Structure 1
Amino acid sequence: MATLICGSLAFDTIMTFEGRFAEQILPDQLHILNVSFLVPGLRRDFGGCAGNIAYAMRQLGGVPLPVATLGNDGADYLERLRALGIGTDFVRQIEGTYTAQAMIMTDRDNNQITAFHPGAMMQAHLTRIEARPDVKLGIISPDGRDAMLQHAEQFHAAGIPFVFDPGQGLPMFGGAELSHFVDLATWVTVNDYEGRMLCDRMGVELHDLSRRVKGLVVTLGGDGCDIWEAGVKTHVPAVQPAAVVDPTGCGDAWRGALLHGLEQGWPLARCAMLGNQLGALKIASRGPQNYQVDATVLAQA
Structure 2
Amino acid sequence: MTLELYAIGNALVDSEYLVTDEFLASQSIEKGCMTLIDGDRQAGLLAALDREFRCAKRASGGSAANSVIAFSAFGGRAFYTCKVSDDDNGAFYLHDLQAAGVSAPAHARVAGGVTGTCVVMVTPDAERTMNTHLGITAEMSAGELDLQALEQARFLYIEGYLSTSASARHAVATARDIARRRGIRTALTFSDPAMVQYARDGLAEMLADGVDILFCNETEATLWAGVESLDDAITSLHRLSPLVVVTCGGRGAVISHHGEHTAIDAFPVNAVDSNGAGDAFAGAFLYGLSRDWPLDACGRLASRTAAQVVSRFGPRLDSAGYAAVLKAHV
**Can you list the C-alpha shifts for 1:29-50, whole angstroms capped at 9, x where unaligned?**
xxxxxx9777423132221123
Matches within 5 A, 1:80-95: 80-89=96-105, 92-95=108-111
Alignment length (residue pairs): 289
Q: Which string of whole-angstrom CA distances, capped at 9 and with x for unpartnered residues, describes residues 79-117 of structure 1?
A: 222233221236612322211111111111122332111
Q: What residue number does 1:31 align with? A: none
Q: Aligned pair in 2 of structure 1 residues 211, 99: CA closer, same or farther (>3 Å)?
A: same
Structure 2, gaps ≥5 residues long: 29-44
Please tell me whether residue 117 in structure 1 is matched to residue 133 in structure 2. yes
Which structure 2 residues correspond to residues 14-163 of structure 1 after superposition, within 5 A? 14-17=16-19, 19-21=20-22, 39-43=52-56, 44-73=58-87, 74-89=90-105, 92-125=108-141, 126-128=143-145, 130=147, 132=150, 134-141=152-159, 142-143=161-162, 145-146=165-166, 147-152=168-173, 153-154=176-177, 155-163=179-187
Query: Comparing 142-151 with 106-115, which one deviates more in the overlay?
Result: 142-151
Distance 1:90 1:181, change over 3 A: farther
Q: Partners in 2 of 1:180 and 1:247 — Cα distance?
A: 26
Query: For the structure 1 residues 97 and 244, does the alpha-carbon distance in structure 2 shift closer, same or farther, using more than 3 Å as the test?
Result: same
Corresponding residue of 2:218:
192
Distance 1:160 1:46, change over 3 A: same
* TM-score with structure 1 setting the length: 0.84
CA–CA distance in structure 2, aligned partners of residues 23 and 117 of structure 1? 17
Q: Tell me how far 1:148 sits from its aligned partner.
A: 3.5
Asked if 1:166 is matched to 2:190, the reply is yes
Specify the code of the residue in structure 2 equivalent to 1:199.
A
Offset of residue 254 of structure 1 = 0.8
Aligned sequence identity (%): 23
The amino acid of 2:285's aligned partner reads L
2 CA distance for matches of 1:71 and 1:275? Answer: 33
More helix by share: 2
Q: 1:129 to 1:57 in 2, by over 3 A?
A: same
1:130-185 Cα offsets, whole Å, 9 max, x none, are 4655311111112253324531433334432111112234332329x627716241
The root-mean-square deviation of aligned C-alpha atoms, in Å, is 2.9
| Unpaired runs of at least 5, structure 1 | 28-34
